[in-house]
Structure 1
């Protein structure tokens, strides 16, 4: 049965967040069954962080909901990660100015949605992880809860890799999977902690980083109104 392998409502793992507002996942595929426990489906907004190559077949939800492409990188296909890059290097790259502006765009879209917003990349781990972490950090969620949500993706990675194998032709054999660096197959706490450290060390903290990257203070206000429960 085809279904999303890494779908969850952020409220399910982060206390104090309103349910049914922010969802995260791996990439939807043609032929996926409607996931249980996430109603209404499809969400009101889908923010797709993949590059053009990853979206070469279009988006399977484009005919039934609003899908906005916000490619963090121009060439972020899974083959690039499997070619020897490190998680620390990738996450440092995601905080550089051009990628940072894309995260600002993604979080702004989430703040403006009038219904459930789903953010995804291919695995729902790296680009999605930073987007969700940014939204949560901006509204004051404790660091430990941001990390706890991020690392949950490790449990979903076997299913994610199986789905991506079919889409990208990585291959189901152990030899092919073995060529992918081990850390890419997990969501290690140190990766998102590196991002949080960067925001904490920025003069003025994450909100000042957000403003420098082009984010508006009104977006932070809307995020708090939408995401915080009570």
Structure 2
């Protein structure tokens, strides 16, 4: 755990978008704890004191094999458990019109509909006893990571407005220069199409609407795809300790 005052965005490694999801209100008067769950883009980490201070026990890497080879993070040597959970979003673009009013909202809804088992396995990883503190990351920490973190927060009782606000923070940190520097192998939605680089709260709100209307909410969605209710409750307890 960091010894300094908790901060939302962390300057560790060469990350643009490494954030702590602590101090968010949870139903029942609870709040998520600092230093328990982090979200990030991919970068090269070294055994710095700052990284060691995070005390990571688990890393969930949402990138595919080509991405991992192109940008190795070095976390395998620094964290007890690194799990590869490829969450392919770029292949789903064919089902989404980039000219639609909200292509990212459509993409995230498509991820929910077509990647249920993969998303459930990721949340189950985080719900394992001893899994926290944990880091979830992809290439940019925006789309794949955004959907996973939204599912987690929603499942433990964080309200939609807070979930969307957390997602939208990404727009403060990912610059045009960041996307221009992404390698061709990056699984980011589209490193060239600037219309897909934003992180508008409306896009996440659209996904959460589909989650509620089509699946009965995050808890029901995860249970439907094999995550025991007890595991979700354990994750809520672990994240609000």
**Same fold at TM > 0.5:** yes
Q: 2:210 aligns with which of 195, 198, 202?
A: 198
**Which residue pairs with 1:87 in the alignment?**
104
Asked if residue 107 in structure 1 is aligned to residue 123 in structure 2, the reply is yes
Asked if residue 63 in structure 1 is aligned to residue 63 in structure 2, the reply is no
Q: Does the CA-based 8 Å contact 1:22-1:110 persist in structure 2?
A: no
Q: 1:143 aligns with which of 144, 157, 160?
A: 160
Alignment partner of 1:27: what SS?
Answer: coil
Alignment partner of 2:141: what SS?
Answer: coil
Residues in 2 aligned to 1:51 and 1:164: alpha-carbon distance in whole angstroms: 18
Distance 1:34 1:190, change over 3 A: farther
Residues in 2 aligned to 1:225 and 1:169: alpha-carbon distance in whole angstroms: 40
TM-score normalised according to structure 2 size:
0.76
Q: CA deviation at 1:214?
A: 2.2
Distance 1:203 1:52, change over 3 A: closer
* Paired residue total: 212
Residues in 2 aligned to 1:89 and 1:205: alpha-carbon distance in whole angstroms: 17
Which stretch shifts more, 85-94 or 186-195?
85-94
What are structure 1's unaligned runs of at least 5 residues?
171-176
How do residues 44-59 of structure 1 correspond to structure 2 at under 5 angstroms? 44-57=57-70, 58-59=72-73
Q: 2:135 aligns with which of 103, 115, 118?
A: 118
Residues in 1 aligned to 2:164 and 2:98: alpha-carbon distance in whole angstroms: 25
Deviations 1:52-86 (A, max 9, x none): 2211244421112121000011x749x99xx9583
Residues in 2 aligned to 1:141 and 1:134: alpha-carbon distance in whole angstroms: 10
Q: Which runs of 4+ in 1 moved over 6 A?
A: none
